[in-house]
Structure 1
Amino acid sequence: MTQTQGHLPPQFWSTPAVAAALAECDLAAILAEIRQANGWTQAELAEAVGYSQSWVSKVLRGRLPLTVDQVREISIRIGVPLHMLRFGARGDDDPTKRREFGKAVALTALVGVALPKRAEVDETTAPTLTSITGAQRRLEANTPARELAKGAMAHVDLASRILNRASRSHFAGDIRAGLSEAAGFAAWVHADMHDTGTARTYYRLAIDSARQAGHSLLAGYMIGSLAAFEIDADDPTLALGLLAHARKELGERPPATARAWMSSIEALGHASAHDAPSALMALRMAESAVTASERATAPPWPWVFPFDHAKLAGYRALVMVRLDRPEEAVAAFAESLSSAQPAAKQRGVLMTEIATAKALSGHHDEAFHLASNALTVGITYGSERVIHRARRFRRTYNGPKTASVRAFDERLQATLL
């Protein structure tokens, strides 16, 4: 076999032919596409799925219908992501859900293709748009941003065109919220590419769409996300002003999760502006909000995961790095990482922060070992954001020029050449 079973690239699943087959749960068509992508003979495909060649031949010609259990079994063996077929545990094969997810996958494939002028807009349209953004987010953690950017921008365009058709319907508000989420993801992708101008453009669209949708939590979330972006862009004063606007959007009694997240970003903004008292006060407010949020059954939308003590520890570590408190930073990083391991690109970002803390405490070789690993992550996953962090770490380093520093400099120069 010419390709390792089950290791097709992520973009394979959103090609038009595969997306259409997923939309119809047409496993025969999916198998044919996988066979072609891998360069397999029919016998090799049969070996991969665990059936005879004659059985596979009948399936491919549409002469042998498959049961749900057979579809699930073959999908697992051949590497078809079960969530794309809406298959989970046995018994969770709701045909309505499967059709709705199929619609989402089909829409994902329509990159740059106009929809029919009279395409139906109904109560499933907004959830479909949101599910596409969710699928893109799941890919983002371990996929180069440049591979996602075209699809992310196309999805924003698609959501905008759907909204234009439905602007006077009672579905418009939810579709605007879906557009906001899509624009927020496009902003994030461009931030990872270090395309700050385009990122800001999409953040503005995300905020405007959320406001027009009348979703104050979503608007506050998008403004807070823009504030975090501006902190990363070394403009904490602007970020703190944006956070004040975000708090107004959230109202007088925002959910505890929102308060914890907002206060943590605020602490980072104050620390970046070298205002230690305000930063520490914001951390205390975040701690109180995290404790309150533990009583909630689930985080409020658009937050997907709870903002817990591990996440707060991660922010505390970043704050301590900026306040030149390396020992407290390293301890907070250890607390944060003991609960959950971040995805690849986020791990690269964190390694540059830990490297800064190590350099501040005099562990120069260890610091540059971490920074070098971060640079590897940035190169491997095409993350200009991580590469920029590694460059910034080097730019702010004022210690001795050891062999590890010289080796890092050579690697850094190689990324430019």
Structure 2
Amino acid sequence: MAAALASCDMAAIVEAIRLSCGWSQAELARSVGYSQSWVSRVVNGQQSLTLDQVRQVAHRLDIPVHLLRFASSGPIPAPTAPPRPAAVRAAGEGKGADPTRRRDFGKAVAMTALPLPAAPGCGDIDETTALTLRAITGGQRRLDASSPARDLAKAAVAHLELSGRTLARARRTPFAADVAAAASEAAGFAAWLHADMGDAGSARSYYRTAVERARQSGHGLLDVYMLGSLASFEIDAEDPELGLTLAVEAGRRMGDDAHPTAQAWLACVRALGRAGMGDAAAAHREIARAEAAVRRPDNAAPPWPWVFAFDDAKVAGYRALAAVRLRRPGDARTAFSDAFGGTRPGAKQGAVLLVELATAHADAGDVDEAFRLASEALRTGAAFRSERIIGRVRRFRRGYRGPRARCVSALDEQLTALLTGGSPPAGRG
């Protein structure tokens, strides 16, 4: 600690204090008033601190300036603040520090005690700004589970524009990286909504913004998440070769030592790309990688921006989707059974999976069940005005080449009523 203070190595200082107090990074983040991601970057040497930040962190951790200066003579005064962490007390009592380095460091610390002017127009940016922006996106995401995308799109785009203007004001502040991450999340959600609305051009544009903002944030996993999301979108848009290229690039950026949730998810995205290109062996290898990752003992708490840990049921869902693309209905139906054995997905995502399951049943010759599932998915798509779901049902219908049974006519009537503004008839069993 003495050496770290003498060289102003804030990464070592902050980490030593955390260990001395027995804090988690989240607890340390609360103590210094910054986000956990900011603290993680500091500890890992990925975030340089301004003089103003050094002053703030020292104040919030009760590190007096005289202690940071390694006062060379006289006893250390009794502290008037609450007891300091043991690591800092030990450093203040250390011996043998080079006096020249003490003087140089003392000058730097003295500078941190001076108030620094804020950048023009950014006085409203602080450690709560990114959290507030992310809370708005989180609230909109929760509404997405029960609301049509069209009802949320204008608000989401307005929030994205607000995030962009806020980021412009935050560029010369210590909070720019966190605000950029929040802006990336806002752009990713806007992309998701426009994909659901069938507006592929806008969705691509917003995904590109999400990737750009993620890179500006310096958060490696956020960059991987947004690039992987764009890859998944392109695969769903029937361009598996482009999607696979993007997914492979995301994996290159992620590296081999990433959290197992991230590894499993990205392997599943690559599996869909491989399956879409007809490469069954490669798709199975990717699914096997995902299965191995989710079973690792450290796949417990997922890393942000993932909200839920990737588990066997989620991998089974991707295995089913890959089997549908490879025209292997038996494998698909078995995998769907495994996937739906746990928690059911939300209404819109569940409807997308129903169409995929319908395709598997149709390939297996179970026409009545296939069209029952497609009809159920179409009713959900109509209720949410989701072009994504409706488009998939239409694609399923175009791909059917079997006899015109009564269930086929019933789905045609539903589609016709939906397109002409009538009331879709109830599905027939």
Q: Which residue of 1 aligns with 2:181?
A: 177
* Range moving further from structure 2, 395-404 or 191-200: 395-404
Q: Which residue of 2 aligns with 1:338?
A: 341
**SS of the residue aligned with 1:301?**
coil
Q: CA shift at 1:201, angstroms?
A: 0.4
Is 2:324 the counterpart of 1:321?
A: yes
* Counterparts of 1:264 and 1:344, CA distance in 2: 22
Q: Which residue of 2 aligns with 1:352?
A: 355
Among 255, 271, 277, the residue aligned to 1:273: 277
**SS of the residue aligned with 2:295?**
helix
* Range moving further from structure 2, 197-206 or 245-254: 245-254
2:228 touches 2:266 (CA, 8 Å); kept in 1? yes
Is 2:412 the counterpart of 1:409?
A: yes
Distance 1:251 1:371, change over 3 A: same
**SS of the residue aligned with 1:121?**
coil
Q: Which residue of 2 aligns with 1:139?
A: 143
Q: Deviations over 1:95-136 (max 9, x none)?
A: x9xxxxxxxxxxxxxxxxxxxx66611000001111111111
Is 2:375 the counterpart of 1:383?
A: no
| Residues paired across the two proteins, number | 302
Q: Which residue of 2 aligns with 1:255?
A: 259
* Counterparts of 1:201 and 1:285, CA distance in 2: 31
Distance 1:325 1:228, change over 3 A: same
Letter of the aligned partner of 2:361 in structure 1? Answer: K
Q: CA shift at 1:367, angstroms?
A: 0.6
Q: How does 1:176-215 map to 2 (within 5 A)?
A: 176-215=180-219
* Counterparts of 2:243 and 2:185, CA distance in 1: 20
Q: How does 1:107-118 map to 2 (within 5 A)?
A: none
2:293 touches 2:299 (CA, 8 Å); kept in 1? no
Q: Which residue of 2 aligns with 1:92?
A: none
Q: Deviations over 1:210-236 (max 9, x none)?
A: 001111100100010001100110000
Q: How does 1:17-416 map to 2 (within 5 A)?
A: 120-292=124-296, 294-416=297-419
Letter of the aligned partner of 1:226 in structure 2? Answer: L
Q: Give structure 2 stretches of 5+ with no counterpart.
A: 1-29, 31-120, 421-429
% same residue: 54
Distance 1:118 1:282, change over 3 A: closer
Q: Deviations over 1:227-246 (max 9, x none)?
A: 11001100000001001211
* Counterparts of 1:155 and 1:120, CA distance in 2: 17
* Counterparts of 2:275 and 2:416, CA distance in 1: 30
TM-score, with normalisation over the residues of structure 1? Answer: 0.71
* Counterparts of 2:163 and 2:275, CA distance in 1: 38
Q: CA shift at 1:189, angstroms?
A: 0.4
Runs of 4+ with deviation above 2 angstroms: 294-297
Q: Deviations over 1:363-392 (max 9, x none)?
A: 101111110111100000111100011011
Letter of the aligned partner of 2:180 in structure 1? Answer: R
* Counterparts of 1:239 and 1:187, CA distance in 2: 16
* Counterparts of 2:299 and 2:375, CA distance in 1: 41
* Counterparts of 1:175 and 1:183, CA distance in 2: 12
* Counterparts of 2:203 and 2:326, CA distance in 1: 28
Q: CA shift at 1:394, angstroms?
A: 0.6
* Counterparts of 1:240 and 1:342, CA distance in 2: 25
Q: CA shift at 1:338, angstroms?
A: 1.2
* Counterparts of 1:254 and 1:279, CA distance in 2: 21
Which protein shows a greater Rg? 2
* Counterparts of 2:386 and 2:222, CA distance in 1: 27
Q: Deviations over 1:254-300 (max 9, x none)?
A: 211111000011111111111111111111111111112x4344011
RMSD, aligned CA = 1.5
Letter of the aligned partner of 2:212 in structure 1? Answer: D
* Counterparts of 1:377 and 1:405, CA distance in 2: 18
Letter of the aligned partner of 1:172 in structure 2? Answer: A
Letter of the aligned partner of 1:376 in structure 2? Answer: R
Q: CA shift at 1:322, angstroms?
A: 1.1
* Counterparts of 1:305 and 1:189, CA distance in 2: 20
* Counterparts of 1:369 and 1:303, CA distance in 2: 33
Q: Deviations over 1:133-152 (max 9, x none)?
A: 11111111121000000110
